Amino acid sequence: MDNIINFDDFQKVDLRVGTVVEARDFEKARVPAYQLKIDFGTIGVKNSSAQITTLYSKEDLIGRQVIAVINFKPKQIANFMSECLVLGIQNGKDVVLLRTGHEVEKGTQVL
């Protein structure tokens, strides 16, 4: 494996649990996507662009807990500023969201 990192590198990635509070179609995205607002509790609400439209409806996403990287530099995607990266597993052409096995407090850090 060529891309080995050490544990110190891994600890720099801030993975948190958040709850989707809003999901809208991202009409200007080149690949079908949603614009999400995710509540991370005391950390605040962050925006994310997510290409998860094949398996999830906007209605299914509201209230769903997701896991995201919250300490990436914000990225401009068309007319939208994405502030965090929602994590998922590539399954063919679809993306399956990572999530907790049980409901946890918003903003909980993934260790």
> Is residue 104, in this structure, part of any structural domain at all?
no
Domain containing 78 — which CATH number?
Answer: 2.40.50.140
Tell me how many domains the chain contains: 1
Full-model pTM? 0.94
Asked whether residue 45 is domain-assigned, the answer is: yes
pLDDT digits (tens, 9 = 90+) for 76-97: 999 999 999 999 999 999 999 9
Rounded average pLDDT over 14-20: 98
The answer on pLDDT for 2 being more than 90 is: no
Domain that holds residue 40: 14-97
- Is 58 domain-assigned? yes
- Please report whether residue 21 resides in a domain: yes
Does some domain include residue 25? yes
Residue 75: Cβ within 10 Å count: 13
